[in-house]
Amino acid sequence: MDQDPLVIVTRKLPESVESRMGELFNVRLNPTDQPMDKETLAQAMSVADILVPTVTDKITQDLLENAGPNLKLIANFGTGVDNIDLEATKKAGIIVTNTPGVLTDDTADMTVALMLAVPRRLLEGAIFLNDPQNKWGGWSPSWMLGHRLSGKSLGIIGMGRIGQAVAHRAKAFGFKINYHNRRPIAKETEEQLNATYWESLDQMLARMDIISVNCPSTPATYHLLSARRLKLLKPTAFIINTARGDIIDEQALASAIENGEIAGAGLDVFEHEPEIDSRLLHNERVVALPHMSSATLESRIDMGEKVMINIKAYLDNHAPPDRVFPVKHTN
């Protein structure tokens, strides 16, 4: 019998990550990639020493309370840890790690791609030409019109790694950079970006052409863009969200777009994934993507690398580098 600590991975990871995990650990993989239902997750958590979940696994308080005594590390394959009840892990003495930094550039790139794509002109154009019935009659001056980005005011909510990476790209596009954050960023970076800090989110919202949501989902940011705040936006404003769906009240967003209170949205994430408010999906003022901002092979491999480093450090009795909060090491 293998006595090595059991590592259970809930979803299929890139082949190179899985094979390296197999070399390093006693690992149970998920070759079918079928997301685990609650019962399967509970079963996994009853036998695992280390769990490697993803955003699709809701690690709830009751699952944590009923976890097996050996479960001591949750090495999340992802940066956001909103899928995990952190308070309950603290109580259970379970260490949680994530994968910060390695998906910053890809997520920021996709954020800018969504700014370019709303309202739907890039998508419509591509769909139109790729249609086998393609009826393009040639160029037209009044057709497929979008909006210029340069000179517009961009308001970034959450100026952490991803928010700053978005700001650097947006500056190159000629945006005026504005941001709201719990506190101002370093003066030097602010100057480099020529960025304006808004302590009041409400005041920033009322003045922006595009809002980009780049903060984590936490109890404090749940429905940060509430129905009331959405009403503060200019009717010409667009919202881009590559962070988490529940930071925006999705129903209120769908109504605001439907009623022409705001111009539209570019969304990579949704409040109740994989369900999406159908009013968003079928609105030509919305470009929707299936949570794929960080879906590059490079980022997935780097995320896997981080997961392995965190597990290895833990098993070698060192503090895993990407601990979400400091917990006494009990191994």
Catalytic residues: 244, 273, 291
Contact (CB, 8 A) for 285 and 264: yes
- What is the three-class DSSP state of 131? coil
Task: Report the nearest approach of ligand 8YV to the CB of residue 111 (Å).
Answer: 12
The overall longest dimension of the chain from CA atoms, in Å, is 72
Query: Which runs of consecutive H residues, i.e. helices, occur in the chain?
Result: 15-24, 38-47, 61-65, 86-92, 104-117, 121-130, 161-172, 187-193, 201-205, 227-230, 250-258, 278-281, 297-315
Contact (CB, 8 A) for 115 and 149: yes
Task: Report the nearest approach of ligand 8YV to the CB of residue 120 (Å).
Answer: 23
Task: Report the nearest approach of ligand 8YV to the CB of residue 215 (Å).
Answer: 12
Q: What are phi and psi of 248, to 5 degrees?
A: -110, 140
Residues that bind ligand 8YV (CB under 6 A): 54-55, 77-80, 103, 293-294
> What is the distance between the alpha carbons of residues 189 and 213, in angstroms, rounded to a whole number?
19
Task: Report the nearest approach of ligand 8YV to the CB of residue 162 (Å).
Answer: 9
Q: Is the peptide bond before 274 cis (omega within 30 degrees of 0)?
A: yes
Task: Report the nearest approach of ligand 8YV to the CB of residue 29 (Å).
Answer: 16
Q: What is the number of helices (H) and of strands (E) in the chain? A: 13, 12
